[in-house]
Amino acid sequence: MAEMHVIAAEPLRAAMRLVVQGCGSSDAEAAAVADNLVEANLTGHDSHGIGMLPRYVNAVREGGLKVNAHVRTVLDAGALLRLDGNAGFGQVVGAEAMALGIERARQLGCTIVALGHAHHLGRIGAWAEQAVAAGLISLHFVNVIARPIVAPFGGAKAGFGTNPFTAGVPLKGRPPMILDFATSVIAQGKTRVAHNKGVPVPEGCLIDEQGRATTDPRWTVVPPWGALLTFGQHKGSGLAVLCELLGGALAAGLAGHGEDGSKQRVLNGMLTVLVDPRALHGSEAWEAAAEDFVASLLRIAPREGHEQVLLAGDPERRTRAERLASGLPVDPTTWRQILDAAASVGVAPSLVQRTAGLA
Ligand SMILES: NC(=O)c1ccc[n+]([C@@H]2O[C@H](COP(=O)([O-])OP(=O)(O)OC[C@H]3O[C@@H](n4cnc5c(N)ncnc54)[C@H](O)[C@@H]3O)[C@@H](O)[C@H]2O)c1
């Protein structure tokens, strides 16, 4: 495996801002995109971090991703909000959609926010964290409008995207639960990262173009295309289909997948359910019950091969602390792709390199 670059978070953010500004984004938009991508790397989800930037740049150049776009309210019916992301950066329209939903849930106790036509919303956990920071519980059902890459249970061919499901629950006396995963066994970006690093993916994640099991990540990175499998057999496949029905058909009015794999644009549809737990329960009793339950869970002794029982969200917080202290590893292929993307929008690769603190 090629040697990794190790870059500290702040210079990496500054370098990524330069590339986004090169696309024509305002300073605020460039900061939102760079912060969100670097945050994904900090939490250990390199698949949704700065490695996405070359694809975003290509999508802007193709006209499929609109810079400086904002959400538009299509329907405002009390606890129901339907928003159009205008094909803007998901890092901007996602945050705007959440802010509108949070404000409404604080007034009414709950809200359902349907966001359609948003460009890639990145790590969906970021949106759960925004809700949890406001004291709210949030559930997110997300679909992916791009070439289908995940096969339904029992199918030999892809039928939908990696359709993430995410939930955030604020907890008293400890950090929140942030459950955030793709419904494919592994996220697609993880196959790109493996392909860039030249390493296989674990068994049970992929099928080739004939529907045969394989560990070669090429099958979802370069044509001819194979497919990812869903996690949890028929159960994960069912959740993926639910994400398509709720995040896609209901929230975005888009559940079909074109076969054209040549375009770089990725749209997400997201149905978010926000609940104010205090409005629902009216007392602090639920907080105490949740706190007791989580404490009892974390006291359970680990079984062989495991260090300890963790709550979802804890692994990301650990990785974040480690990477803030020791820097973010970036593989050379990903870094080269970022420098090429910078050059394609008139930003000197040497400036990006210097800003990131690399000689
Ligand atoms: N925008 C999109 O189109 C899109 C599509 C797919 C995935 N994604 C994002 O990709 C990211 C990665 O998804 P993934 O499926 O690779 O995630 P993953 O398989 O790493 O699972 C992550 C979840 O599992 C929890 N977890 C991990 N280890 C644990 C342990 N030992 N004990 C308890 N909980 C544990 C984590 O806290 C987290 O909630 C997510 O942020 C997701 O939102 C985005």
Question: Concatenated DSSP letters for 226-239?
Answer: -EEPBTTHHHHHHH
| Contact (Cβ atoms closer than 8 angstroms) between residue 221 and residue 191 | yes
| Contact (Cβ atoms closer than 8 angstroms) between residue 275 and residue 109 | yes
**Residue 329 CB burial class (10 angstroms; 0-12, 13-18, ≥19):** middle
Sheet holding 206-207, edge to edge: 213-214, 206-207, 227-228
| Contact (Cβ atoms closer than 8 angstroms) between residue 239 and residue 257 | no
pTM: 0.96
Ligand 1 mean position, distance from CA 346 (Å): 34
Could you give the CA distance from residue 159 to residue 102 in angstroms, rounded to a whole number? 33
Per-residue confidence at 2, pLDDT binned at 50, 70, 90? confident
Torsion angle of C-alpha atoms 114, 38, 48, 45, degrees rounded to 10: -110
Ligand 1 mean position, distance from CA 273 (Å): 19
How far is residue 35 CA from its own chain's centroid?
A: 13
**Residue 140 CB burial class (10 angstroms; 0-12, 13-18, ≥19):** buried
Ligand 1 mutation target, pool 41, 42, 48, 191, most atoms within 8 A of CB: 48
What pLDDT does 282 receive? 79
Ligand 1 mean position, distance from CA 217 (Å): 19
Q: In the predicted model, is pLDDT for residue 261 greater than 90?
A: no
- 215-228 confidence digits (pLDDT tens): 999 999 999 999 99
What pLDDT does 281 receive? 87
Per-residue confidence at 206, pLDDT binned at 50, 70, 90? very high
- 52-92 confidence digits (pLDDT tens): 999 999 999 999 999 999 999 999 999 999 999 999 999 99
Ligand 1 mutation target, pool 65, 180, 206, 298, most atoms within 8 A of CB: 180
Q: Are strands 206-207 and 227-228 parallel, antiparallel or unpaired?
A: antiparallel
Ligand 1 mean position, distance from CA 283 (Å): 32
Cα→Cα distances 245→192, 259, 271, 351, Å: 27, 19, 10, 44
Instruction: Using the atom order of ligand 1, give the atom closest to the CA of residue 181.
Output: 15
State the DSSP code for 43.
T
What pLDDT does 291 receive? 94
Ligand 1 mutation target, pool 160, 177, 181, 308, most atoms within 8 A of CB: 181
Q: In the predicted model, is pLDDT for residue 11 greater than 90?
A: yes
Could you give the CA distance from residue 235 to residue 145 in angstroms, rounded to a whole number? 22
Q: Are strands 110-119 and 80-84 parallel, antiparallel or unpaired?
A: parallel
Ligand 1 mean position, distance from CA 329 (Å): 19
| Average pLDDT of every residue of the chain | 95
End-to-end CA distance of the chain: 21
Instruction: Using the atom order of ligand 1, give the atom closest to the CA of residue 182.
Output: 15
Tell me which residue has tokens 């912060």: 35
What pLDDT does 68 receive? 98
Could you give the CA distance from residue 263 to residue 61 in angstroms, rounded to a whole number? 11
- 307-342 confidence digits (pLDDT tens): 999 999 999 999 999 999 999 999 999 999 999 999
Torsion angle of C-alpha atoms 184, 187, 191, 192, degrees rounded to 10: 140
**Complete domains list, the chain, with CATH:** 1-68+327-359 (1.10.1530.10), 87-99+109-182+233-324 (3.30.1370.60), 185-229 (3.30.60.50)
Q: In the predicted model, is pLDDT for residue 16 greater than 80?
A: yes
Q: Is the CB of 123 under 6 A from ligand 1?
A: yes
Could you give the CA distance from residue 326 to residue 330 in angstroms, rounded to a whole number? 13
Could you give the CA distance from residue 45 to residue 49 in angstroms, rounded to a whole number? 7
Q: In the predicted model, is pLDDT for residue 258 greater than 70?
A: no
Beta bridge partners of 184: 230
Residue 165's H or E segment, with its range, is strand 165-169
